[in-house]
Structure 1
Amino acid sequence: MALLFNVERVKYTCTCGNRFPLCKLYVCRYCRELRCKICVSHEPDNFYCPHCTDGITGPEVRERKNQCLSCFNCPSCNNTLTARLTTVQTTNPENPTGEPLQRKQYYLVCACCRWSSRDADIPDVQNHGSWREPKTDKEMEELLLAVKKYWATVGAEEAMEAQTKKFPKRKSYAYKRDLFQRRRSSIYKSLAKNNATISDTSAQKSSEIKPTVEAFSEVDPLPESYWTQPLNVNAVTSLSQRIAFPSLMPETAAELHPMRKTLTIKRSLRCPGADCDHNLVKPEYVPQSIKFKLHLVAQLFVPEIRLACQPSLEMEKESVCVLSITNPTDSIIRVRIAPIDCDEETEESVGDLIDEINTNLSVAPLLQDEGVEIGGKLNGLELAAGESFNGERQYSDDSSVIVQRKINKVFVKTTLVPNLLGEKIMVGLNFHFQLLTDDAIANKDPSVQLKLNEENSTPMSTRVLLDLGFAH
């Protein structure tokens, strides 16, 4: 059952050609296209700490090096450290013979692995935000700065080359002179900015710059204690723990220090269409809020195809595969499915999907030509009132094609003949559907909904790849 509900078994094809499950896709209601996380434009809205939810602006993020000043992670298990209060008695300087003073101090402790700042010999502090930074090697810091400067130069030069390739080369020198004299355009401002960055960082080209760090074939030998004394694995740091402190590189667990928590961002997703620049996802600006101002995920608008049950696939025998199609909207819609024939289709028509499909799926002509109507879902208020406006419409379904029908779901029957043993049976479908219109949503009559939806909406189509499992 867990394998049956695996969303990775049914993948939809995005406009850019990548394939993802429906829950990982977005839909643009303006350009009528499916979008994925690879082709959309990512725009950071605000930065915040995931533990204390403290919102931080862009300039402060660069000053803080993308870290929170008051929250720490455990260097051993990477969980959040909590500050624990303790009381220490100290001598009163004004009255040494009198009663001692009670002083409050804080130290960090991990509730998961019980690591504390006292294990690293970090003294307790009186203020929660006055933790000292670990001592770092100056030579290592200079080396990291040199490497950062080198790659900044290489990146700025590559960005400059990418910008200059957008403009055609002209033989007239007067055209180039007039071109670079126009400072009002943002494109030429970015060119000048990249050019200034390269001149400030280094006057040489990236091909002439020698890397600061060079690889050596010889490494330092291990200490004699590794061969003469038993090794305590718990006292030696792992590779991930050493990489977390590049300027310190602790070798033992006693040298570990608390790590400042990395900030998290809330980002907006924008449609990358040439004539469309609308938002697909827009979260709330407040870090404590988990709501969205705009959330156009495909699972809320596009019908979902799933395997109703695991098909019994036998070699060289006709097998039945039942698919369920769910309508996530409140209006009745019509969908059509057609198989992708791996023998007749070409790479130009279906792209690289032809390389993954290894079995042909047979679909009834009724589903290919006329399609099937799927009713809209009922909300909680309508179910409580006993309303069922989908039931008022009588469906004349063919029992050989439509196995079962529910409120907003139909089960259709398809057939295939597996001919591969030891490999997963992969089939493809051309899926045609329609997005809802505002007029169809406002009208409660199912027949009017379907008519308005077919007349006013633009049909959408995509390709679906199904993993049916192994044949026996």
Structure 2
Amino acid sequence: MMALLFKVDQVKYTCTCGNRFPLCKLYVCRYCRELRCKICVSHEPDNFYCPHCTDGITGPEARERKNHCLSCFNCPSCNNTLTARLTTVQTVNPENPKGEPLQRKQYYLLCGCCRWSSRDADIPDVQSLGAWRGPKVDPQIEELLMSIKKYWATVGAEEAMEAQTKKFPRRKSYAYKRDLFQRRRSSIYKSLAKNNLLSPNANISDTAAQKSSEIKPQVDPVPFSEVPALPESYWTQPLNVNAVTSLEQRIAYPSVMPETAAELHPIRKILTVKRSLRCPGVECDHNLVKPEYVPQSIKFKLHLVAQFFVPEIRLASQPSMDIEKESTCVLSITNPTDFVIRVRITPIDCEHSSKEENIGDLADEINTNLIVPGILQQEGVEIGGKLNGLELAAGESFSAGGKDKQYVDDSTVVLQRKINKVFLRTTLVPSVLGEKIMVGVNFHFQLLNDDAIAKKDPTAQIKLTKDNSTPISTRVLLDLGFAH
């Protein structure tokens, strides 16, 4: 049982867009009643902050700093955070040269992991934190990097405009969305022009001059005859690996590309972003995840994770699967809500599936049919909410049809009940060797409406019906392992 606790990839739910993920990686929209995944949702950056000093930074300021923190650095050798060490230096007092020397504070950077310091790169100590300067950069290399940045910024602007065009189609009854698209489109070009990535005179209609194919950076190849030869020390002296930088260390500083360890410089720490996730529905466009603005806070203003609303199907135990023999597969369904919910399970038969079901690529993955009792397919089973724990002792469990008088279950189908969990018995006949046994089911459940949530008494447990809930269906793929 404990071995299956952390195997969340064994059971995958199908998103509205067709991708399959574990339940803990899905979201549910309370407005359009659809399951969403990280691929189909819209990602919007809320605020930027440094993960070390947790200093909050606005979007324009982050672009001005090139997405780097001004006071925190990473070690160029092991990529850990560098700490500033204080040291005192005695200097001559200009007012009284023959008197006592002055004590002046200075700072240098030191890595607590590999013991690399800024003094190893001959970087002078500074008198204030964050006053370290980077190495000198070749103007030609910097110009080439800026042209590459300009190219990819234009590519991103084109993709953003295409996404906004698909998201807000032209309709007579949605004129305000067209205006919103025009405002977002103009803000993209204004931000690019502000950072000198586009021409200041570029407007929204002048898209022909800003095509990515026309500003693609050109790198002139160097003839082989002009490539300098390697020095004789490469062939006569042994190689000191500790004195040569690795490929990761060179890519970390693309404008310098240091070749020796003595040329390494501290790398400014990259900022982290807090993101908001928005539902991609054309008529919805509501937030699914909205974090707090304060970088130190780990709370959310809105957190519609599917694990808080959708019943979770898990394998209660690993079935002993023998080829061409009937095996018992026990499924556990947990109700994460405070309401009494009814669920139904119907198997997916790829061989006899109709065109109306439209199972998609599940037909290529499912290789075994799961045998589900008729009671689960037609009537379903009711599962109590978490509020049942107030009436029962902590950790108390009861058998089907035993202590719990509220539910009258078939003991051959419902093996056991707990506070908000039920164990169901299904069977299958494995017939595939050398491949994982994959089965699929259609999972039907209900989601409480917003009006019922507003009128709900927090001390009373209600039952979901057709009037106060919305039916939702999804396909679930189960990985049962290998047969023997």
Aligned: 1:301 with 2:309: yes
Q: Distance in 2 between matches of 1:158 and 1:444?
A: 50
Q: Distance in 2 between matches of 1:28 and 1:144?
A: 42
1:233 to 241, 244, 260: 241
> Residues 207-222 of structure 1 correspond to what in structure 2 (within 5 A)?
207=213, 211-213=217-219, 222=230
> Does the 8 A contact of 2:385 with 2:420 survive in 1?
yes
Equivalent position of 1:102 in the other structure: 103
Q: Distance in 1 between matches of 2:279 and 2:211?
A: 36
Equivalent position of 1:178 in the other structure: none
Equivalent position of 2:276 in the other structure: 268
> Does the 8 A contact of 2:336 with 2:420 survive in 1?
yes
Equivalent position of 2:195 in the other structure: none
Higher mean displacement: 308-317 or 426-435: 308-317
Aligned: 1:413 with 2:413: no
Q: Distance in 1 between matches of 2:118 and 2:282?
A: 54
- 1:171-212 CA-to-partner distances (Å, cap 9, x unmatched) read xxxxxxxxxxxxx94555677886926999994865566641
Q: Distance in 1 between matches of 2:208 and 2:250?
A: 31
> Does the 8 A contact of 1:11 with 1:21 survive in 2?
yes
2:255 to 219, 225, 247: 247
Higher mean displacement: 255-264 or 379-388: 379-388
> Does the 8 A contact of 2:311 with 2:335 survive in 1?
yes
Aligned-pair CA distance for 1:382: 6.8
1:340 to 337, 341, 348: 348
| Pair 156,374 (structure 1): closer, same or farther in 2 beyond 3 Å | closer
2:321 to 313, 316, 332: 313
> Does the 8 A contact of 1:345 with 1:354 survive in 2?
no
Structure 2 residue matching 1:213: 3-state secondary structure: coil
Mind listing any 5+ residue stretches in structure 1 that lack a counterpart? 169-183
| Pair 309,250 (structure 1): closer, same or farther in 2 beyond 3 Å | same
Structure 2 residue matching 1:351: 3-state secondary structure: coil
Equivalent position of 1:5 in the other structure: 6
Equivalent position of 1:71 in the other structure: 72
> Does the 8 A contact of 1:282 with 1:293 survive in 2?
yes
> Does the 8 A contact of 2:389 with 2:419 survive in 1?
no
> Residues 283-302 of structure 1 correspond to what in structure 2 (within 5 A)?
283-302=291-310
Aligned CA-pair RMSD:
3.4
Q: Distance in 1 between matches of 2:29 and 2:164?
A: 29
Q: Distance in 2 between matches of 1:293 and 1:433?
A: 26
Aligned: 1:423 with 2:435: yes
Q: Distance in 1 between matches of 2:312 and 2:34?
A: 16
Equivalent position of 2:385 in the other structure: 376
Higher mean displacement: 227-236 or 150-159: 150-159
Structure 1 residue matching 2:410: 3-state secondary structure: coil
Equivalent position of 2:482 in the other structure: 470
Structure 1 residue matching 2:467: 3-state secondary structure: helix
> Does the 8 A contact of 2:91 with 2:102 survive in 1?
yes
Mind listing any 5+ residue stretches in structure 2 that lack a counterpart? 170-177, 190-200
- 1:342-389 CA-to-partner distances (Å, cap 9, x unmatched) read 21225761112221111111111111111111111149877789999x
Structure 1 residue matching 2:358: 3-state secondary structure: helix
> Does the 8 A contact of 2:167 with 2:282 survive in 1?
no
Q: Distance in 1 between matches of 2:474 and 2:122?
A: 61
Count of residue pairs the alignment pairs up: 455
Structure 1 residue matching 2:88: 3-state secondary structure: strand
Equivalent position of 2:473 in the other structure: 461
1:35 is aligned with what amino acid?
R
Equivalent position of 2:114 in the other structure: 113
Aligned-pair CA distance for 1:220: 6.4
Structure 2 residue matching 1:413: 3-state secondary structure: strand
Q: Distance in 1 between matches of 2:127 and 2:143?
A: 33
Equivalent position of 2:202 in the other structure: 196
Equivalent position of 1:325 in the other structure: 333
TM-score (normalizing by structure 2)? 0.84
Q: Distance in 2 between matches of 1:396 and 1:237?
A: 71
1:363 is aligned with what amino acid?
V
Aligned: 1:356 with 2:357: no
Q: Distance in 1 between matches of 2:122 and 2:10?
A: 52
> Does the 8 A contact of 2:84 with 2:109 survive in 1?
yes
- 1:298-353 CA-to-partner distances (Å, cap 9, x unmatched) read 00010001111111111121111111111111121111111111212257611122
| Pair 216,136 (structure 1): closer, same or farther in 2 beyond 3 Å | closer
| Pair 283,75 (structure 1): closer, same or farther in 2 beyond 3 Å | same
> Does the 8 A contact of 1:271 with 1:280 survive in 2?
yes
Aligned-pair CA distance for 1:438: 1.8
Aligned-pair CA distance for 1:76: 1.7
Q: Distance in 1 between matches of 2:339 and 2:263?
A: 63
Q: Distance in 2 between matches of 1:401 and 1:384?
A: 25
> Does the 8 A contact of 1:425 with 1:469 survive in 2?
yes
Structure 2 residue matching 1:37: 3-state secondary structure: coil
Q: Distance in 2 between matches of 1:329 and 1:383?
A: 17
Aligned: 1:438 with 2:453: yes
2:266 is aligned with what amino acid?
P
| Pair 292,152 (structure 1): closer, same or farther in 2 beyond 3 Å | closer
> Does the 8 A contact of 1:147 with 1:213 survive in 2?
no
> Residues 32-43 of structure 1 correspond to what in structure 2 (within 5 A)?
32-43=33-44
Aligned-pair CA distance for 1:151: 4.1
2:219 is aligned with what amino acid?
V
> Does the 8 A contact of 1:364 with 1:401 survive in 2?
yes
Structure 2 residue matching 1:435: 3-state secondary structure: strand
Equivalent position of 1:174 in the other structure: none
Q: Distance in 2 between matches of 1:126 and 1:379?
A: 64
| Pair 9,192 (structure 1): closer, same or farther in 2 beyond 3 Å | closer
Structure 2 residue matching 1:336: 3-state secondary structure: strand
Aligned-pair CA distance for 1:214: 5.0
Higher mean displacement: 205-214 or 232-241: 205-214
Q: Distance in 1 between matches of 2:266 and 2:378?
A: 64
Q: Distance in 2 between matches of 1:242 and 1:25?
A: 38
Equivalent position of 2:197 in the other structure: none
Equivalent position of 1:59 in the other structure: 60
Query: Percent sequence identity over matched residues?
Result: 78
